[in-house]
């Protein structure tokens, strides 16, 4: 089993790239190979996918993306191609948040994911990702809370606002959103 491979990008194709590590070229399927540049040194987090008739390396820019891919392909009816389409277009924390919030509309915007597939993803993964999603949103929320307290806002004021924030936003945008809500 591989955790990650570090090497130089020597080839980029529409669905994969070749990563040279000490003279061995690993063909790695990635959600979006065009995020990478030829001759760049990269670290890809790997999922070694083995089935009766196929053995493939899937590569991701973060552990979170790899772990979400593994969770997605565990869902009945969701294969590697569908999971890759989700990860090619969505950030792992946004996808996890959408699953926890049962946001079918968000999930159906990805190619190959219809309403039934989105509902199956939610049914199979909601709660399973809860700890991961909460870790992401709790970390962001605590940063927002600290920033707002540094600006002089009280705990009481913050309690009213923190639950209304869009947790899928980056921390700086959540702070701006909180400030707008506090000004109302």
pLDDT at 131: 54
pLDDT at 168: 67
Query: Distance between CA 135 and CA 129 in Å, rounded?
Result: 10
Cβ contacts of 14 within 8 Å, gap of 6 or more:
33
Same domain, 87 and 52: no
Same domain, 135 and 163: yes
pLDDT at 19: 97
Domain span including residue 107: 64-128
Same domain, 78 and 121: yes
Report the run of H or E that residue 147 belongs to, with start and end: helix 130-150
Same domain, 68 and 108: yes
Query: Distance between CA 110 and CA 132 in Å, rounded?
Result: 21
Tell me which residue of 44, 78, 81, 80 sits closest to 59, measured CA to CA: 44
* Domain boundary residue, one of 105, 128, 151: 128
Burial class (CB in 10 A: 0-12, 13-18, 19+), 49: middle
pLDDT at 100: 86
List the CATH number of the domain containing 113.
Answer: 1.10.150.20
The pTM of this model reads 0.70
* Domain boundary residue, one of 82, 103, 128: 128
**How many distinct structural domains can be found in the chain?**
3
CA distances to 55, 62, 126 from 165, in Å: 42, 25, 20
List the CATH number of the domain containing 38.
Answer: 2.40.50.140
Query: Distance between CA 110 and CA 89 in Å, rounded?
Result: 7
Q: Divide the 184 residues of the chain into consecutive groups of 10 and give the mean pLDDT of each group.
A: 93 96 96 93 96 93 92 94 90 86 91 92 84 53 80 79 74 83 80
* HSE-up of residue 39 (Cα within 13 Å, Cβ side): 0
């Amino acid at each position: 089993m591989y955790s990650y491979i570090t090497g130089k990008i020597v080839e980029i194709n529409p669905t994969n790239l070749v990563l040279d590590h000490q003279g061995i070229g690993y063909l790695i399927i990635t959600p979006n190979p065009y995020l990478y540049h030829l001759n760049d040194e990269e670290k890809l987090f790997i999922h070694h996918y083995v089935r009766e008739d196929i053995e493939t390396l899937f590569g991701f820019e973060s552990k979170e993306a790899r772990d979400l891919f593994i969770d997605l392909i565990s869902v009945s009816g969701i294969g590697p191609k569908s999971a890759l389409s989700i990860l090619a277009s969505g950030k792992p924390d946004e996808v996890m948040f959408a699953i926890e919030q049962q946001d079918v509309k968000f999930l159906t915007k990805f190619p190959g994911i219809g309403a039934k597939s989105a509902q199956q993803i939610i049914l199979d993964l909601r709660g399973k990702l809860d700890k991961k999603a909460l870790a992401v949103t709790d970390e962001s929320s605590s940063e927002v809370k600290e920033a707002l307290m540094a600006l002089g806002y009280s705990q009481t004021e913050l309690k009213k606002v923190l639950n209304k924030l869009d947790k899928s936003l980056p921390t700086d945008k959540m702070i701006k959103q909180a400030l707008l809500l506090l000004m109302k």
